[in-house]
Amino acid sequence: MSTRARYIALFIQGAVIWFMAAMFIRFTVLAGWMDGGPATIIVFAFSLVGSCLGIELIHRIVRGERGEMVRSAAVIALVGAMLDGLAITWTPQLYSLDPAARAIGGAWLLWIVGTILAYALLRDRR
């Protein structure tokens, strides 16, 4: 896969993952799992595992080079951050109607981006 094709694939996957994350926030808020209680801890813990497996899978799908997983993670993160910025500004109800729920959803997003970048950085060092 050429570098250009790899970046296009990462941008598309970043947009798809962003939308899935937004819907995940919406669902978990409606289900009462993002209220700061024990369910929230479980969501964050499972998300840690899922995010590490996810970036590993995506890096393989785009045939990323060895030692360049952090680049794949960064492209996905930047697409998500840009789309979140737009959505939070103009359509915050996409995540939740409750501002407090949006705040914890935002915290979850920061956690996920951090775990993906940290995992990719550590993985690249091997």
Only one residue has tokens 């995010």, namely 51
Which pLDDT does position 121 carry in this prediction? 95
The per-residue pLDDT for range 58-98, each reduced to its tens digit, is 999 998 888 899 999 999 999 999 999 999 999 999 999 98
The per-residue pLDDT for range 38-62, each reduced to its tens digit, is 999 999 999 999 999 999 999 999 9
pTM score: 0.88
Q: Which alpha helices (H) appear in the chain, and where do they start and end?
A: 3-30, 38-61, 69-90, 99-124
Packing angle of the helix pair 3-30, 38-61 (nearest 10 deg): 160
Separation between Cα atoms, residue 4 and residue 43, nearest integer Å:
35
Radius of gyration of the chain (CA): 15
Which pLDDT does position 60 carry in this prediction? 92
φ, ψ at 29 (rounded to 5°) = -65, -50
Mean pLDDT of the chain: 93
